[in-house]
Amino acid sequence: MGKINVTIDEIKISVDAGTTILDTAKSVGVEIPTLCHHEQLKPSGNCRICTVEVDGSRTLVGSCHTPVAEGMVIHTRSAKVLESRQATLELLLAGHTGPCVLDMEARECALHNLAAEAEMGAPRFQVQNPRYYAVEDVSPYIQRNLSRCVLCLKCVRACEEIVGQNVVSAAYRGFGSKIVVDADIPLNKEICRDCGVCIEYCPTTALVWADGKKKKSGREERKIQANPPAGKEKRKKLLEMLQEKQRTAGFISETAMREIAGAAELSVSEVYGVATFYGFLSTRPQGRYTIRICKSLPCYLKGGLMIAESVEKELGVKAGETTADGKFSFELVNCIGACDQAPAMLINDRVYGNLSPEKIFELLQNCL
Amino acid sequence: MAEKRIVLQNCGFIDPEDISSYVENDGFAALAKARKMGPEAVIAEIKASKLKGRGGAGFPCGLKWEMARRASGDEKYLVCNADEGEVGAFKDRYIIQNDPFSLVEGIVIASFAIGAKKAYIYLRAEYHYLRDTLKAAVQQAAERGILQGLEIELKEGAGAYVCGEESALMNSIEGRRGEVRFKPPFPPVSGLFGQPTVINNVETLVNIPRIIWRGAAWFAGIGTKDSAGTKVFSVSGDVEKPGVYELPLGSKLNEVVRELAGANDIKLVQVGGATGSIVTESMLDTPLSYETLLGSGAIIVLNSTRDVIDYVYRTIAFLNEESCGKCTPCREGTEVLAEVLGRLTSGDGFPDDIKTLAELSQAMNISSLCGLGQAAPVPVLDSLKYFKHDYENRIKQSVFLRKVGFA
């Protein structure tokens, strides 16, 4: 393996090709703070706490997953780096419920400590709907408090890569993302072998032992057996299996998810995570006709919301609901690529454009 | 300025359901020529043509192919990105609806050049109605012996804007959540199933047979120095004639929105979809090119009656719903931007709001994991640049109304 010459905070160093910026920095005593990174886990690059500035790059780069390149000039403490890190920390704090600073256990939280090191006050930012999840204490061994979760995916990766299980997976999408057990049920001892590995990797106090402590409470050390998770080949078919179910049954029930998980040799949480990511997959029963009205800008400019209102009036249901007779489901969706015929909608797989309230009335009469 | 139809040359002149009408119009002649030239010469030709990716990022196509051809892997993949989710974009739909065969020809040439035995077309779920058209086009090409061992598989998306981002798209084909991956490694080195992969947009691939047939010099002679060829634009919003227009790169925005699409009252134009840049009326002379502004070629016109803050709020609300949720700046940042803009839209602003929007946007722009998160705050930053008064006045109004007890 060749050697790569880089400069990091003015220090010149030569390291093996393939070394990450983070490890290179560490080797010369430059500390870069991290949150989602752990040297025993594959890098994920999700938290963006460890981003640094590299000359010639417009954007910052994640130091935990970016290998050094010849001649790279890296700055780990430039104004750009510190300002963006502060914003990222504030975003993570803002998404929480409850004042972390008053939390007696907060000292065990890596996020709290990073904020303290950065001498941060209250975050500048506010979210629309702060996350609140009830504390899960069904398991006699492990307690989950997802209101404190920062979605670093360490528990997901530790469960898969260290323990060889997939008890937990990321589910839903965007700000609504959540780490789920099975089909989003509280963690329990039937599903989880309570080895507690995830607790050790969790940087916050979202995962603690049942006594509320982060440290092991004198429990005997369990030998960790890392089996490579099965079914990676069959996984390719997962999305198609879910789409097929959606087409034939109109939705993907919990039973269907269990069947698919069995067939694809995946855990239920993994199947649930994929099923809840995509907008055209539904975990609730849908009507025979699914009406999807586009609410994105080109349709909005042409009165798309008025069309939505006339559908609401006609069917007597709101967006996201299904009529009592199970005939119509009505959704407001993002751009369907029929902007030249705005306002437009899909009824099942067919496009209807240049809509007007009269046309809606006519179309729905035809479906009835 | 008249249109110049190269990509769309067959649209309206062939039967999209019958391959023989395409063959009669010199269809697959470029493929035959490419096979005679050999993969290296094909790549050299595409490099010489200066063709850049038409999906939005604008990476040089020939260079991407060359990287994948030279990369070592058990298998190589060509992926056609037909996940046209960008708000206001519908050009790929139009191409597939009218001329699916040119796309198939482009896919076969590209696969031949990089050495792929397997190609995927990733079609967005919203375009399910194009599935049969595409399948039939591939089937008819196979029956005529055109594929020569290449397998073209149609994969359908399931409703996620982010899957138009190439790493999320690959995760989706692999049966995973459509979350983005960090780069490097880049797809031509390690992409789908860890193998060298080229991901090209529909329009990019349709340009391929044209370039091979008429030569790189001809193609490079169209457009500007760094933006060769034409671009297909999707124009919508406050215009008389919304639709698809193809013009040489370097054409002025005015020519598209005023002369062709018939906009007569323009407050602003967003070029490039939800994450695109804002152009005001006084800047309509701006040429559309990779050097200036372009993106995926989605152009949305807003007239003088439109509320800028309401428009920016809707755009951010869209991105908030469509963020994959993997990285902090995009997942949490779009949520915070939506909170501030939602308040401003309903007249509940605070003096610090402009500062918050600007600072957060700046941070998201440089620290998000993928191009989507990085570009998400662009409409916020641009609107603050050109329409700051609107924000300031909205905040003053809010402060006043609260003072007199109306909020």
Q: Are residues B170 and B49 in the same domain?
A: yes
Distance CA B119, CA B182 (A): 23
Within a domain: B3: no
Token digits of residue B338: 């939506």
Same structural domain for residues B361 and B281?
no
Indicate the helix (H) or strand (E) that contains B318.
helix B308-322
The pLDDT value recorded for residue A231 is: 52
CA B279 to CA B277: how far, in whole Å? 7
Which pLDDT does position B110 carry in this prediction? 98
Burial class (CB in 10 A: 0-12, 13-18, 19+), A38: buried
Identify the pLDDT of residue B1: 64
Select from 3.30.70.20, 3.30.70.1020, 1.10.1060.10, 3.40.50.1110 the CATH code of A142-209: 3.30.70.20
CA-only gyration radius of chain A, Å: 25
Q: Is residue A363 scored above 60 in pLDDT?
A: yes
**Cross-chain CB nearest to B184 (options A59, A67, A174):** A67
Distance to chain B for A125, nearest Cα, Å = 6
CA A39, CA A20: separation in Å to the nearest integer?
A: 11
d(CA B78, CA B112): 10
For residue A301, which residues of chain B lie inside 8 Å, CB to CB?
A: 236-238, 300, 302, 306
User: Is B338 within 8 Å of A47 when comparing Cβ atoms?
Assistant: no
Give domain status of residue B75, yes or no.
yes
Mutation for A interface: B328, B355, B368, most A CBs within 10 A: B328
Among B385, B367, B386, smallest CA distance to B376 is for B367
Residue B339: CATH number of its domain: 1.20.1440.230
Among the residue ranges A109-118, A147-156, B44-53, B323-332, the one predicted with the least confidence is A109-118
Fold for A289-367, please state it.
Glutaredoxin (3.40.30)
Mean pLDDT value of segment B252-280 = 97
- pLDDT, mean of residues B299-320: 98
Lowest mean pLDDT among A220-229, B301-310, B332-341, B364-373: A220-229
Q: What are phi and psi of B156, to 5 degrees?
A: -105, 140
Q: What's the DSSP call for residue A228?
A: P
Direct distance between the N- and C-terminal alpha carbons of chain B, in angstroms, rounded to an integer: 51
Do B28 and B143 fall within a single domain?
yes
Per DSSP, the three-state class of B194 is helix
Contact B268, B279 (CB under 8 A): yes
The model's confidence at residue B367, banded by pLDDT at 50, 70 and 90, is: very high
Count residue pairs from A and B with Cβ separation < 8 A: 243
CA–CA separation, B56 vs B38, rounded Å? 29
**pLDDT digits over B173-208, tens only?**
999 999 999 999 999 999 999 999 999 999 999 999
Q: Are residues B294 and B378 in the same domain?
A: no
* Domain count across chain B: 3
Does residue A217 surpass a pLDDT of 70?
A: no
User: What mean pLDDT comes out for the span A7-31?
Assistant: 97
E strand or H helix that includes residue B57: none
> Chain A residues with CB inside 8 Å of B184's CB?
66-67
Q: Is residue B310 part of a domain?
A: no
Residue of A nearest to B233 (CA): A340
How far apart, in whole angstroms, are the C-alpha atoms of residue B220 and residue B381? 34
Do B334 and B379 lie in a common domain?
yes
CB–CB of B376/B333 below 8 Å?
yes
CA A307 to CA A327: how far, in whole Å? Answer: 19
Average pLDDT (A348-360) is 95
> For residue A104, what pLDDT is reported?
62
Question: Residue A103's pLDDT band (boundaries 50, 70, 90)?
Answer: low
Mean pLDDT for chain B overall: 97
Structure tokens at A93: 């704090």
* Residue among B315, B323, B337, B314 at smallest CA distance from B370: B323
Task: Give DSSP secondary structure letters for B47-106.
Answer: HHHT-B-SSSS--BHHHHHHHHHHS--S--EEEEEE---STT--HHHHHHHH-HHHHHHH
**SS3 sequence of A96-112:** CCCCHHHCCCHHHCHHH
Residue numbers in B near A351 (CB within 8 A):
129
3-class secondary structure, A42: coil
Which of B324, B336, B360 is the best substitution to test chain A (most A C-beta atoms within 10 A)? B336
**Packing angle between helix B202-214 and helix B91-98, nearest 10 degrees?**
60
Q: Which two tokens stand for residue A175?
A: 């700000």
Please check whether the domain covering A3-77 is classified as CATH 3.10.20.740. yes
- Pairing status of strand A3-8 against strand A73-75: parallel
Under 8 Å between Cβ of B79 and B119 = yes
**pLDDT at residue number A194:** 84
B156 and B262 share one domain: no
Tokens linked to A252:
């993907």
Question: For residue A124, how many other CB atoms are within 10 A of its CB?
Answer: 17
Q: In terms of CA atoms, which chain B residue is nearest residue A150?
A: B328
Pairwise CA distance, residues B146 & B377, whole Å? 45
pLDDT band (50, 70, 90) for residue B405? confident
Q: How many Cα atoms within 13 Å fall on the side-chain side of residue A314?
A: 23
Structural domain includes residue B10: no
Instruction: Answer positive or negative: Cα dihedral of A278, B316, B183, A43.
Output: negative
CATH no. for residue B292? 3.10.20.600
* Domain final position from B169, B197, B220: B220
Q: Are A25 and A76 in contact (CB under 8 A)?
A: yes
Same domain, B125 and B239: no
Q: Which pLDDT does position B2 carry in this prediction?
A: 83
Nearest to B360 among A80, A85, A125 (CB): A125
* B154 and B81 in a common domain: yes
Question: In terms of domains, do B49 and B114 share one?
Answer: yes
Residues B177 and B239 grouped into a single domain = no
Residue-level pLDDT at A98: 60
Render pLDDT for A128-158 as a digit per residue (tens, 0 to 9). 888 899 999 999 999 999 999 999 999 999 9
Question: Is the pLDDT at A219 greater than 70, yes or no?
Answer: no
Residues of chain A with C-beta less than 8 angstroms from the C-beta of B335:
95, 127-128, 174-175
Which residue is it, tokens 């629309």? Answer: A128
B206 and B124 inside one domain = yes
Which residue of B75, B79, B90 to mutate against A (max A Cβ within 10 Å)? B90
pLDDT of residue A229: 53
B chain contacts of residue A48, beta-carbon cutoff 8 Å? 327-329, 367-369
B172: CATH: 3.40.50.11540
Report yes or no: B163 and A173 within 8 Å, Cβ to Cβ: no
Looking at the predicted structure, is the pLDDT value of residue A107 above 80? no
Cβ count near A121 (within 10 Å): 8
From B189, B220, B251, the end of a domain falls on: B220
Give the neighbor-by-neighbor strand order of the sheet with A61-62: A11-16, A3-8, A73-75, A51-54, A61-62
DSSP class of B263: -
Q: Could you tell me which of B176, B121, B178, B123 has the C-alpha nearest to residue B322? A: B178
Collapsing DSSP to helix, strand or coil, B168 comes out as helix
Question: Is B194 found in the same domain as B86?
Answer: yes
Q: What percent of chain B has pLDDT over 90?
A: 98
Q: Report pLDDT digits (tens) over A30-52.
A: 999 999 999 999 999 999 999 99
Residue of A nearest to B357 (CA): A125
Q: Is residue B99 part of a domain?
A: yes
Task: Compute the C-alpha angle B256/B261/B264, nearest 5°.
Answer: 100
Facing B321 at nearest CB: one of A44, A46, A334: A334
Pairing of strands B151-156, B197-201: unpaired
CB within 8 Å: A45 and B128: no
Q: Classify residue B350 by burial, with Cβ atoms within 10 Å: 0-12, 13-18, 19+.
A: middle
Of A264, A279, A300, the CB nearest to B160: A279
Question: What residue numbers bound the domain in which B248 lies?
Answer: 230-302
Does residue A105 surpass a pLDDT of 90?
Answer: no
C-alpha span between A194 and A199 (Å, rounded)? 10
In a domain, B13, yes or no: no
Q: How distant is the Cα of B280 from the closest Cα of chain A, in angstroms?
A: 17
Q: What is the DSSP letter of B276?
A: P
Nearest to B368 by CA among B314, B321, B332, B322: B332
Q: How far apart are the C-alpha atoms of A193 and B217, rounded to whole Å?
A: 66
Instruction: Give dist(CA A100, CA A88) in Å, integer.
Output: 16
Contact A334 B85 (CB under 8 A): yes
Q: How many CB atoms lie within 10 A of CB A223?
A: 6
Q: Do B328 and A91 touch (CB under 8 A)?
A: yes
Within a domain: B225: no
A134 CA to centre of own chain: 19
pLDDT digits (tens, 9 = 90+) for A251-264: 999 999 999 999 99
Residue B273 has pLDDT above 80, yes or no: yes
Domain endpoint, select from B169, B187, B220:
B220
Mean model confidence pLDDT for chain A: 92
Within-domain flag for B283:
yes
pLDDT score at A276 = 98
pLDDT digits (tens, 9 = 90+) for B215-235: 999 999 999 999 999 999 999
